[in-house]
Amino acid sequence: MSKSLVERVIRADVRALSAYPVPDASGFVKLDAMENPYTLPQALREELGQRLAAVALNRYPVPSYTLLKEKLCRHMGVPAGFDVLLGNGSDELISIMSIACAQAGAKVLAPEPGFVMYGVSARFAGLDYVSVPLKADFTLDRDALLAAIAAHRPAITYLAYPNNPTGTLYDAADIEAVIRAVGDSGIVVVDEAYQPFAQESFMPRLPEFNNLVVMRTVSKLGLAGIRLGYMAADPALLQEFDKVRPPYNINVLTQAAAEFVLDHTAELDRQAAALRSARSELAAAIAGLGSVEVFPSAANFLLIRMANADKVFAGLLQRKVLVKNAGKMHPSLRNCLRVNVSTSEENALFLKALKESLQERI
Ligand code: PMP
């Protein structure tokens, strides 16, 4: 294809981007993407297999997704009178909100370091993106946020609760102050992707705020492969976002798998509980090494800081352990790595590889 065609047709800002990097993890202990390491027990997998075999692949999904939504509302504590909108992962919900709010001059605001897709999706939709730095300990800088809200009047403000890539569970009073400061001029999306590991939530508080959107995903819960996100908000808002949603965005296999797994949430809850206790053990073991700082995390990963993290990252790669070199993501994450909490076997493999990589880094 001639270069000039690409230049004529594709937006300059898109051409200047690099694609979202996803490294090939085959042969690695994969601890870079906040996945749940557990699969479903064999008996459930077999039953699921039968359900999926019965799905009519020749038919489009029925776009109301009534049963799936009912089950999500019931199992995920969505308050009475509130409904959910479904997305092909919460990534799609972020784009839906960006597109729906993309009026001339509209802005999106988020603390940084944070989830990269808030800014990426805003720019794709033609919205201005404004970031506000977190404090050095990665907690919210309430004064700076309130000042930015007053200056920019953002249409969308994102707060990940807990935050990725830091794991921080922001102070609920700070979040409330942001929701009130934004008031009627914008929506505040509390992104609860890691809620199963934090167990704190703004979901029950939806009736208090007409500008609050609570967004969740089943990805971190153990179902990253099926791509299903959901968000709850005032019905007047959801109704508008629904107009932007591609009509058949949840495929029939995802729909059937989610409906099945939602009847077995006890298994997912057990897995999340195991990861929460593994998180404390892993954090204590890493802190015990002496030369590594471990930031408090309410998610299924830990952010850790050490001297010469690039070398440690390379040492881990050599030992076939893949974590995220967070230092490359944001200047305030210098010398930080982000590592998933996993099974006790994988956590032990990581710890051993970390110890060895720390020793040889100098
Ligand atoms: N929000 C946050 C804070 C995340 O970290 C992620 C995934 N990394 C997502 C949303 C997207 O999740 P998914 O598209 O898998 O639902």
Q: What's the pTM value of the predicted model, to 2 decimals? A: 0.96
Q: Do the Cβ atoms of 341 and 279 come closer than 8 Å?
A: yes
pLDDT tops 90 at residue 20: no
pLDDT, position 18: 80
Nearest to 327 by CA among 308, 346, 343: 308
Which one has a higher pLDDT value, 221 or 205? 205
Tens-digit pLDDT profile for residues 135-155: 999 999 999 999 999 999 999
pLDDT tops 70 at residue 195: yes
- Which whole-number Å values give the CA distances from 276 to 167, 172, 191, 219, in the listed order? 13, 20, 19, 16
Element (H, E) at 81: none
- Name the closest-CA residue to atom 1, ligand 1: 193
Atom of ligand 1 nearest to the CA of 218: 16
Percent of the chain exceeding pLDDT 90 equals 93
Q: Ligand 1 centroid to 91 CA: how many Å?
A: 6
- Name the closest-CA residue to atom 7, ligand 1: 193
The dihedrals phi and psi of 99, each to the nearest 5 degrees, come to: -65, -45
Which one has a higher pLDDT value, 187 or 16? 187
Q: Counting beta carbons within 10 angstroms of the beta carbon of residue 79, is it exposed (0 to 12), middle (13 to 18) or buried (19 or more)?
A: middle
Top mutation candidate among 86, 92, 93, 117 for ligand 1, by most atoms within 8 Å of CB: 117
**What distance in Å separates the CA atoms of residue 167 and residue 298, rounded to the nearest whole number?**
6
Who lines ligand 1 at CB under 6 A?
34, 89-91, 115, 160, 164, 191, 193, 217, 219, 224, 229
What residues form DSSP beta bridges with 30?
322
Atom of ligand 1 nearest to the CA of 92: 14
What residues form DSSP beta bridges with 157?
109, 188
Q: Ligand 1 centroid to 3 CA: how many Å?
A: 34
Tens-digit pLDDT profile for residues 153-179: 999 999 999 999 999 999 999 999 999
Q: Counting beta carbons within 10 angstroms of the beta carbon of residue 105, is it exposed (0 to 12), middle (13 to 18) or buried (19 or more)?
A: exposed
Residue 125, number of CB atoms within 10 A of its CB: 18
Nearest to 111 by CA among 134, 88, 92, 128: 134
Atom of ligand 1 nearest to the CA of 91: 14
Looking up tokens 């999306």 gives 189
The dihedrals phi and psi of 131, each to the nearest 5 degrees, come to: -110, 150
Q: Is 169 in a helix, a strand, or coil?
A: coil
Q: Ligand 1 centroid to 290 CA: how many Å?
A: 32
- Name the closest-CA residue to atom 2, ligand 1: 193
Ramachandran category for residue 246: left, alpha or beta (phi over 0 → left; psi -120 to 50 → alpha): beta
Give CA torsion, residues 32, 33, 36, 42, to 10 deg. -90
What residues form DSSP beta bridges with 214?
190, 232
Q: Ligand 1 centroid to 39 CA: how many Å?
A: 19
Atom of ligand 1 nearest to the CA of 114: 3
The full set of domains in the chain, from first to last, is 3-41+266-361 (3.90.1150.10), 60-263 (3.40.640.10)
Q: Do the Cβ atoms of 257 and 53 come closer than 8 Å?
A: no
Q: Counting beta carbons within 10 angstroms of the beta carbon of residue 80, is it exposed (0 to 12), middle (13 to 18) or buried (19 or more)?
A: exposed
* Helix 117-124 and helix 90-101, axial crossing angle in degrees, nearest 10: 40
pLDDT tops 80 at residue 194: yes
Two structure tokens written together for 319: 């030992």
Q: Ligand 1 centroid to 7 CA: how many Å?
A: 31
Tens-digit pLDDT profile for residues 87-128: 999 999 999 999 999 999 999 999 999 999 999 999 999 999
Top mutation candidate among 115, 120, 159, 197 for ligand 1, by most atoms within 8 Å of CB: 115
